[in-house]
Amino acid sequence: SSEVLEAIENVIQGVLQSLAQKKAPVLTVANRADWRNIEFKDSVGLQMIPGCTTKQIRSDCPQSARRFALTLKILSMIYKMVQSNTYATKRDIYYSDTLLFGSQSVVDQIINDISCMLKIPRRSLHVLSTTKGFVAGNLSYTEEDGTKVNCTCSATAVAVPSNVQGIKNLTSHAKFILIVEKDATFQRLLDDDFFNKVSPCIMITGRGIPDLNTRLLVRKLWDSFQIPIFTLMDADPHGVEIMCVYKYGSVSMSFEAHHLTVPSVKWLGLLPSDLERLNIRRDALIPFTKQDENKLASIQKRPYIACQPLWKKELEIMAASKLKAEIQVLTSVSADYLSRVYLPNKLQFGGWL
């Protein structure tokens, strides 16, 4: 915490020095959303390059003066929380003054900018994000406050903890981890008691694009158990994008790649080639939109696809057919086909990429 306080004090000292010299204070933050600032490393995923381009948040410029003021406001809130060893969610910060901040996304962006500028992970800033992910299966752990959580015996899923860093005593006999894209599929597998039937496993869903806590938990489970991690996604560009976030990270959070990515993640399904192999009826598939075409084209150009020839082939099948499918399409074969046939066969015979 002294490191965090010192980093914030240095920023404020810079502001005061500028004012003392009768200059307009300026904050310099990295250009987080620029692909030119990102390099791809097989062992880490997408990470920010050391000498990346920056942008200035000026206090004397009408376009950025408000952003400058809000950044200082949030810095002061973080400083107080670290000092008093209290925590707040990003939502708490927004609701402390909704009129001032204007929207939740403004708060989210500024907090990520601060984390990147100070080179300090968001958890160390005492800012927690609201969790939307769930975990179930063969896993138990102790939360920071001493609460014991057992995911094994509950018929319902457990919410991913909001302070993943603080959990300890993780124990599991799981043979693998299954990341499920969607909540509906996750609940279906839960109802079918999937994590006990095949072999003990841990199931996680980020319910779409995963939040930070879900990604941190996947990484923590990988560090703790070093067991295979498989993803079950829709066979569409959006599903591929989500899988890439778990495996290689995202551009906007590339400055934290070392804590968030798990490059060993495998693509279990739903593969575009599965649709042909299983003779899925054409009328059960969904035609591409223009947005899908653009998204797929942008994914195909990414640096990590070049080192994944089998993924590349699957994306080419998808691009050629211009058709996509949700995991639920497997119910057109039979109601419990996913948990009874599809997943057990894939896991037994190595049908992943």
pLDDT score, position 269: 81
Which tokens hold the place of 330? 């497997």
Confidence of residue 277 (pLDDT cuts 50, 70, 90): confident
User: In the listed set 128, 160, 177, which residue is the last one of a domain according to the structure?
Assistant: 128
Mean pLDDT value of segment 276-300: 88
pLDDT score, position 153: 67
Mean pLDDT value of segment 196-206: 86
- Say how far apart CA 184 and CA 316 lie, in whole Å: 28
Same domain? For 124 and 138 the reply is no
Mean pLDDT value of segment 316-340: 86
What spatial distance separates the first Cα and last Cα of the chain, rounded to whole Å? 42
Summarised one tens digit per residue, pLDDT across range 167-186 is: 889 999 989 999 999 988 88
Query: Can you tell me whether residue 228 is helix, strand or coil?
Result: coil
- Say how far apart CA 151 and CA 171 lie, in whole Å: 11
* Residue 155, pLDDT above cutoff 80: no
Same domain? For 115 and 143 the reply is no
pLDDT score, position 79: 92
pLDDT score, position 162: 81
Same domain? For 215 and 333 the reply is yes
- Domain housing 25: 2-128
Same domain? For 232 and 284 the reply is yes
- Give catalytic residues, as residue numbers: 95
pLDDT score, position 350: 83
Same domain? For 220 and 103 the reply is no
We report the CATH number of the domain holding residue 85 as 1.10.10.10
Same domain? For 139 and 120 the reply is no
- Say how far apart CA 261 and CA 20 lie, in whole Å: 43
Same domain? For 153 and 197 the reply is yes
Same domain? For 300 and 278 the reply is yes
124 exposed, middle or buried (CB, 10 Å; 0-12, 13-18, 19+)? middle
* Residue 258, pLDDT above cutoff 80: no
User: In the listed set 128, 151, 179, which residue is the last one of a domain according to the structure?
Assistant: 128
Summarised one tens digit per residue, pLDDT across range 58-114 is: 888 888 888 899 999 999 999 999 999 888 888 898 998 888 899 999 998 899 888
Summarised one tens digit per residue, pLDDT across range 109-148 is: 899 888 888 888 877 888 887 788 999 988 999 988 888 8
Confidence of residue 154 (pLDDT cuts 50, 70, 90): low
User: In the listed set 79, 102, 128, which residue is the last one of a domain according to the structure?
Assistant: 128
Mean pLDDT value of segment 284-294: 89
Same domain? For 88 and 229 the reply is no
CA angle 10, 75, 126 (to 5 degrees): 105
Rounded mean pLDDT of the chain? 86
Split into its structural domains, the chain has a count of 2
